[in-house]
């Protein structure tokens, strides 16, 4: 498996990106401003993440997704660790990530990778998404924000 930056002439893997964020409009918005990285195995895209510089010396992982057939095999952790390494070598001092209050496995993963909860953006998913989102039988309402100093 290799992880590489998406070439300008390549189309982003929207099917994967929409697994992590169901809003096409929001995904297209941060794809325009960020850098998209893909994980490939045998020329098949099996994972993706997007890095978006947000403030001086700070970057945010705004999307991380793994193809359903490859979930639960540690690929998400490899993508997050790759993002941390690229951010560190890019001269950033802080990396941030946000996830829904209902994203239990993602919250665990990010903390295992060294992220710490910094804040809660109350009602984020109600304000910014027209359709209700449910995961693990829980309505996704609040954005849990996490960060890691590099």
Mean pLDDT, residues 114-140 taken together? 95
The helix/strand/coil state of 58 is strand
Q: Where are the domains of the chain?
A: 2-149
pTM comes to 0.93
Distances (CA, A) of 143 to 15, 16, 77, 85: 22, 20, 20, 24
- Is 2-149 in CATH node 3.40.630.30? yes
Q: Is the per-residue pLDDT at 130 higher than 90?
A: no
pLDDT digits (tens, 9 = 90+) for 76-126: 999 999 999 999 999 999 999 999 999 999 999 999 999 999 999 999 999
């Amino acid at each position: 498996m290799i992880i590489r930056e998406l070439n300008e002439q390549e189309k982003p893997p929207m099917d994967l990106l929409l697994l992590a964020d169901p809003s096409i409009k929001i995904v297209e918005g941060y794809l325009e401003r960020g850098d998209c990285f893909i994980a490939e195995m045998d020329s098949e895209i099996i994972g993706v993440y997007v890095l978006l510089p947000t403030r001086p010396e700070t970057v945010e992982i705004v999307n991380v997704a793994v193809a359903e057939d490859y979930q639960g095999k540690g690929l998400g952790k490899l993508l997050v660790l790759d993002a941390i390494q690229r951010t560190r070598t890019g001269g950033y001092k802080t990396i941030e990530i946000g996830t829904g209050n209902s994203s239990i496995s993602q919250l665990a993963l990010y903390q295992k990778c060294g992220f710490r909860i910094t804040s809660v953006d109350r009602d984020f998913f109600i304000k910014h998404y027209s359709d209700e989102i449910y995961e693990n039988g829980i309505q996704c309402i609040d954005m849990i924000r996490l960060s890691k100093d590099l």
